[in-house]
Structure 1
Amino acid sequence: MAASSAMQSILSSPLTRVTNRSSVNQFLVPTCFVPHLSRNATMPVRCMAGQNEQKGQEPTPRAPKVSTKFSDLFSFSGPVPERINGRLAMIGFVAALGQEFYTGQDVFAQIANGGIPWFLATSILLSSASLIPLFKGISAESKSDGVMTSDAEMWNGRFAMLGLVALAVTEYVKGGTLI
C-alpha cells in the first residue's frame, strides 16, 4: 500500500511532465530518480532453502507426501490394485510354467488339483506384505533406484498378466500343455 501511494506521488509530481523525452524513462519518471545498473552488473543471490542444514553436507531429499487413506490406496488409479495384481501375476506365471514343466499338467488341471488354496495363501501373504509399507506412507517410487525401479516392476507385472492369460488361452485352444 505504501509503495503504491509513493509511486502515485512520483508519477503525479510536476517533475514527471518534462518535455525533453531523452531524460525520461517509459513511466515518465525522470532518470535521476531511477537507479541505473549496468548491463553486466553482478548481484549476489543467496538460496534460503537449506538454511537449517550445516555447510558441507548434502541436503536430505524429502519424500513426497503419500496418502495413507484406504480409499486413496485402493482407488482405480491408486498404487495398490495394479501393483498387487502384477506381483501375483509374476508369481503365478512362473509357478504355472514350473509346475507344468515338472508335472506335465496344464493350468486348468493345476487349479483343479489343489491350486486354489495355494493361490489364496499366496494372495493373502503378498497383499499384506505389499500393503504394510503403503499404509505407513512409504511409496514404491521412493525405494526404486538402478535397474529395480517401480516402473520396471509395473511393466513386468503387466507382461506377466498378459503371459498368464496367453498361457491359459493357448492351452485351452490347444487342448493340452504348452510344454
Structure 2
Amino acid sequence: MTGEELSRRQLLGAAGVLCTVGLVGGAGTHALLTDDESFEGNLIQASELDLQVACRTDAGEVDPPQTDGPFPSTYADAGTVDPSLTVTAGTERTLTVALQTNMAAETGLEVRGDAMAETGATIEVRHRGPKADGLETIAKQLEATALPTTLDLGRCGPTDRPRMTELTLSVPPDAPTDSQTMTLEFTARQCTD
C-alpha cells in the first residue's frame, strides 16, 4: 500500500462528514424557508375598491343618465364620467357630484382650472359626508390662484349613503376670457382601520 491510497475507513469517514454537512445545510435552509410568523388582532384582506360617480349641473345636465326620482339614481365608474363645468364671464354655475364606494373608503376631489388664476374666479365648495345629515361648508372659497387643489371629502364611513359635493364656480364680469372650465378628478383609498 502506498501513501497516496485511501483506506476503506478513510473513505467512509469522508462520506460521513459530507453527509453530516449536507444534513446541517439542508436543515438550515429548510428552517429559513419555512419561517412562520403570527400576529393577533390584525386582518389581511385583498379586495377591490370600486368608486362610482354621478354628476349633475344646475342646468339639469347629468352624467351618467338618471332615472326618475331623487339624484343620484344611477352611478358610473369614475373614469367614464365627465366631471367638468364651463362658466361664462359674469355668471356662476353649480356642479353637484355624488361619490359612492363599495366599501369604507377615504375619498378626495382634485379641482383644476386651466388659466383661471388671472380671471379672479372663485369656487365655493359645500360637502355632505356619509355621516352628516345636511351640506356643510368644507372650503368656503377656493381662489383660482390656488388651483389645482385637492379636497378631502370624507373619512371611512358607511357605504349606503353617497358623499355629496356641490361646487359653485363664479367668474367675474371683467374676466379677461369669455369662459372658464373647471375639471375634477376623484380619488379613493380603502380604509385601513
TM-score of Structure 1 vs Structure 2, range by shorter chain: under 0.3
Which TM-score applies when normalising by structure 2?
0.20
By percentage of residues, which structure has more helix?
A: 1
By percentage of residues, which structure has more strand?
A: 2
Which TM-score applies when normalising by structure 1?
0.20
Which of these two proteins has the greater Rg computed from alpha carbons? 1
